């Protein structure tokens, strides 16, 4: 048997080089799988957090309704103060006209001769222009400002902090002390929390503690973004005028809230607008028991307010508006961008040909894209940019809170369910 011939040094080097190439190829595949798996897991957690968040908001309104649905005595039938505060002491069916003997000429209860005319609380107006950006006063956030309207502008009849509904002190724990807000749709201004360009986590924690529970439920979805005075995005450093925490999307300089562009494929290999941008937070209201079947579009079923009651959340039955227990639908949207798709080339290489769409998309720092932006710009520095859509998934959380009045049982039942 002839002796076995060993590979030459050159052959051994070739084998090692081949093994290294094979290892590099396998490593790239493994890294793509690992990074993609992590990002898919992150997206799944975001979707779950969104569902939990809107459920938190629905639960908050349910608790507010139950606190507000009070009785003067445990043995008396339910006096539906959510429908008519000016009710007689006898049982009054929800939604019926007030008992004239229980009210003064202004429709106030108790009559002005027996007690101070109170201010009534219910669902606050969630129109975006009524909010300001939540903010801190200093790096310790000694006095956090949640940016919620104290009361509606020009609504002089109602104080910022609502007075007791009844003169009975035993009902104090059931009262709302201000209009109830589920969410502030504007970004959080954390500039005071970043002295010298270094963000103080404790300061941010204190600001979140002053906000409605929905903010804390979706806190991990917020992104740190910095802007100049005109709200154009810049690098987060000591030179930034504003430090913001906000949800992904385009920050509208006019309204100050964040909206999500709708994109469709257009002609000539382009991207065009598929409709008006979507709000990241939306609240719809109907009178108790009506259901949401007719609320198909985003503009349907708006929530009325005490300065403009429409018998959904506030009653027009009296000379002064009184709160109703309206059913609400809470919708929240979150857009997750899959940046792990870049190394594999799986992003959409179609130029944005609709000029109006560029005003709706988040273009990132200097219009060149970046982490969290919805597009990436090629050639922005040369003045001849072409834009590429980042792969994304828009998650939608939706919940409905419905009220069921039972005067005979002296109780108000509240149910919450997910919606499509």
CA angle centred on 373, ends 210 and 195, rounded to 5°: 45
pLDDT value of position 7: 59
pLDDT value of position 82: 40
pLDDT value of position 415: 81
pLDDT value of position 163: 47
Q: Which residues share a beta bridge with 369? A: 364
The model carries a pTM of 0.78
CB 65 within 8 A of CB 180: no
End-to-end CA distance of the chain: 78
pLDDT value of position 345: 52
Q: For the sheet containing 258-260, what is the strand order?
A: 250-251, 258-260, 278-279
Q: By C-alpha distance, which of 235, 238, 197, 229 is closest to 366?
A: 235
Q: What are phi and psi of 67, to 5 degrees?
A: -70, -35
Which residues in the chain show pLDDT less than 50?
71-118, 163-175, 409
pLDDT value of position 112: 42
User: Count of CB atoms within 10 A of residue 128's CB?
Assistant: 15
pLDDT value of position 265: 80
pLDDT value of position 277: 92
pLDDT value of position 143: 92
Q: Which helix (H) or strand (E) holds 52?
A: helix 9-68
**What are 408's two structure tokens?**
């005979």
């Amino acid at each position: 048997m002839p002796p076995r011939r060993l590979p030459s040094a050159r052959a051994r080097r070739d084998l090692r080089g081949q093994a290294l190439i094979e290892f590099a190829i396998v490593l790239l595949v493994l890294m793509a799988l690992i990074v993609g798996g992590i990002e898919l897991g992150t997206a799944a957690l975001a979707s779950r957090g969104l569902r939990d968040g809107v459920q938190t908001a629905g639960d908050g309104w349910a608790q507010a309704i139950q606190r507000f649905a009070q009785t003067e005595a445990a043995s008396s039938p339910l006096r539906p103060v959510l429908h008519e505060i000016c009710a007689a002491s006898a049982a009054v069916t929800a939604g019926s006209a007030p008992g004239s003997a229980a009210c003064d000429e202004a429709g106030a209860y108790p009559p002005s001769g027996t007690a101070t005319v109170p201010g009534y609380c219910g669902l606050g107006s969630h129109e975006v222009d009524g909010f300001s950006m939540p903010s801190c006063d200093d790096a310790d956030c000694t006095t956090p400002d949640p940016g919620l309207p104290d009361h509606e502008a020009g609504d002089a009849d109602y104080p910022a902090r609502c007075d007791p509904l009844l003169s009975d002190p035993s009902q104090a724990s059931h009262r709302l002390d201000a209009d109830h807000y589920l969410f502030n749709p504007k970004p959080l201004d954390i500039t005071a929390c970043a002295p010298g360009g270094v963000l103080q986590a404790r300061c941010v924690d204190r600001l979140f503690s002053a906000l409605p529970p929905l903010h804390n439920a979706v806190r991990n979805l917020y992104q740190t973004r910095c802007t100049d005075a005109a709200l154009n995005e810049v690098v987060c450093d000591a030179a930034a005028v504003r430090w913001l925490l906000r949800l992904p999307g385009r920050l509208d300089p006019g309204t100050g809230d964040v909206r999500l562009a709708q994109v469709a494929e257009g002609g000539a290999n382009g991207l065009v607008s598929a409709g008006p941008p979507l709000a990241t937070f939306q609240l719809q209201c109907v009178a108790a028991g009506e259901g949401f079947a007719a609320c198909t579009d985003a503009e349907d079923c708006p929530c009325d307010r005490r300065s403009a009651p429409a018998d959904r959340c506030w009653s027009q039955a009296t000379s002064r508006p009184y709160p109703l227990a309206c059913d609400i639908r809470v919708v929240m949207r979150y857009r997750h961008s899959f940046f792990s798709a870049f190394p594999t080339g799986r992003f959409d290489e179609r130029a944005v040909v609709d000029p109006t769409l560029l005003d709706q998309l988040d273009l990132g720092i200097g219009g060149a894209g970046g982490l969290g932006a919805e597009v990436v710009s090629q050639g922005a520095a040369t003045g001849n940019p072409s834009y590429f859509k980042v792969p994304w998934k828009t998650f939608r959380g939706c919940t409905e809170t419905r009220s069921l009045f039972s005067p005979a049982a002296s109780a108000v039942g509240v149910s919450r369910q997910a919606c499509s």
